[in-house]
Structure 1
């Protein structure tokens, strides 16, 4: 696997909701935003740190480790030795910096473990208020996330699929919520607020299931 192959595979899977992708692309007047790399611990250890599948970028990586009260964010490099937590994710997107340290999570994630379709959830992360609404539309499962008086929309799964918000934390340090969303225990999406624009968006990064 190479970084180019990973990105291509992610875009191919996102073709399930091609109508949403077209709508999002129009927001940037034909300049499609770059999607980041999102890897699990197994891929990081077996392919990146050993470079067994070819050269990977050497810098710009962050490790995201979900913990009981937050997400531990660390800047890492493939050459670093040491144990890797099994639940860790590794993210990289050129020009994107995350805030390192333990980033506090939303306290009541059980509310979003299986978000009810068509329901408005009015929530807060620290002093920042936000809302989330999940709906089934003709093009797929749509997440509408609101904060700062704007709404940011993503289509993350095909019609009929189940989704779960696995973490909400301010990962990029802008005092707004960022999300990790899982689709049917299969694919994980990272949604960073600093990479979103009002209206339809593409996910910041995607972790596809193994073997896809």
Structure 2
């Protein structure tokens, strides 16, 4: 089975170069907090370096709120900070980036209340650009949303927060059900491996990506 190693949310040419040196098969440069022209300039520089090494690059345009590390229930960025479709097309043309992460109501970390995803915006961007679109903050949504998200044009789905938090609940269940005298470290690790395996397979099926990996 093909395995990808990925630098998520890199912030400099140096970070991207180090990740590639260590064997990353793709890298991300997140210049979304920079002024637009500076984001273009730095992304283009990293793309040139990475492509010379045969490595793909993901970039981000628009503001995606929250953090998958701090888990602070951040509200989504205001709509004014969502990715502009026309600007996305220009950004892709000027940078030659391989994948574009976009903002359309998605957040890193847990969602606060009912998510309001602007899938019409995703469709508009998908119509204007010819590269895969990435969604960060793809976990914790209703199962019924995933086919619609994919159909709107999302090709790469970031999925961790809900799975990481639910894994703790699975671990607690394992610890409570076991006899302390017979519980060993490998039992705990085995339970975690099974949980992540089964949850990943479930999400793959929801997103319609089962059996599509190629060497």
TM-score over 0.5 (shorter chain)? no
| Pairwise TM-score range, normalised by the shorter structure | under 0.3
Taking structure 2 as the reference length, the TM-score comes to: 0.26
Q: Where is the helix percentage greater, Structure 1 or Structure 2?
A: 2
Q: Answer with 1 or 2: which has the greater Rg.
A: 2
